[in-house]
Amino acid sequence: MADVYQSQSKFSEAEALYERAISYQQKRHGHHHPEVAILFNGLGELYYLSHDHAKAESAFRKAVAIQREALGEGHPLCADTLINLAVILDDQGKYTQAEERYQQALAIKESKLGSDHPTVAQTLNNLAVLHINQGRYARAKPLLRRALAVNEKALGPEHQEVGTTLNNLGWLFDSEGDLEQAAVFYNRGLDVYERAFQNDHTRVARTSINLAWVLTRLERFEEADRLWCRARAIREKLSGPDHLVVGKVLHGMTLHYLAWGRARDAEQVCSKAMDIMSIENTDANRVADLMDLYAKALVMLERHEEAESYRSQAETVRQEAASQKDF
């Protein structure tokens, strides 16, 4: 039942059920039974989904401690929970602690499952992402190349996990500023996702956006435009034309058309993006950024008075957001 509440985002109801189940299992089996650890792990995942990272970290730490005592430090279940804990630590910027947990999980998986197991590749991916987030690209690169080799051998070159690793490699080279290599890996990842999923899958949309933005910066505008339009169509089909995710795509398309010099197109997609953001009541600074971009499009269209009005509105929005934050 807790899973049902969790799937419906009824986090308080799910939390109460987890706590009741934990209390019951503790009375039945004692505080250090594997079943208790499983429940703490589930509770941690619930807190993660509800964005309560402090409570999630506490729950995962309890699960790891119980599993180590009940099952031994080298048990595969310990590795899975260590990864959950590492993800939470990473999200909180506790990178050293996160890396330590990932390394512990990796050692367990390699010992129990062998170095060429797909779950080893998943952990290598996780560890590489941690390094990318810190700008440690040289450390991430061999991990991702190894993960790619493992996944291609174990799962085949068209498996979705291969696509994930290729996408991460694209992100790595993108972050390094090597746009040509980023385009190569994003394109390969997109090809895998198209084969693994339907063409309107969210992963196809996300990778299309990644590749489109790289191609825009490479000034390969026509190729990029097809991908931006495709991503927009997928997002609109999956989430509706006025959803925030569509607004974010339109924000990217605005930047794309401005870089291409197509002011009229930039004006149109930016106007739609601003409408969506106002409906969604999104971050004020994003709205202000869109107003500035809209002003740029108006300047290119030689509508200078309107442009100045939008610049002024953007500044007002930022000032109001700053004053509310200070308050």
DSSP structure string for 119-166: HHHHHHHHHHHHHHHTT-HHHHHHHHHHHHHHHHHHH-TTSHHHHHHH
Q: Which option is the CATH number for 1-113: 3.30.70.3420, 3.90.180.10, 2.60.420.10, 1.25.40.10?
A: 1.25.40.10
> What CATH superfamily is the domain 117-238?
Tetratricopeptide repeat domain (1.25.40.10)
Local confidence pLDDT in tens for the 327 residues of the chain? 445 445 545 668 788 888 999 998 999 888 899 899 999 999 999 999 999 999 999 999 999 999 999 999 899 899 999 999 999 999 999 999 999 999 999 999 999 999 999 999 999 999 999 999 999 999 999 999 999 999 999 999 999 999 999 999 999 999 999 999 999 999 999 999 999 997 889 999 999 999 999 999 999 999 999 999 999 999 999 999 999 999 999 999 999 999 999 999 999 999 999 999 887 666 788 999 999 999 999 999 999 999 999 999 999 988 887 776 654
Which residue ranges make up each domain of the chain?
1-113, 117-238, 240-327
CB 195 within 8 A of CB 181: no
Fold of 240-327: 1.25.40
Same CATH fold assignment for domains 1-113 and 240-327? yes
Report d(CA 123, CA 300) in Å as an integer.
48
Burial class of residue 268 (count of CB atoms within 10 Å of its CB; 0-12, 13-18, 19+): middle
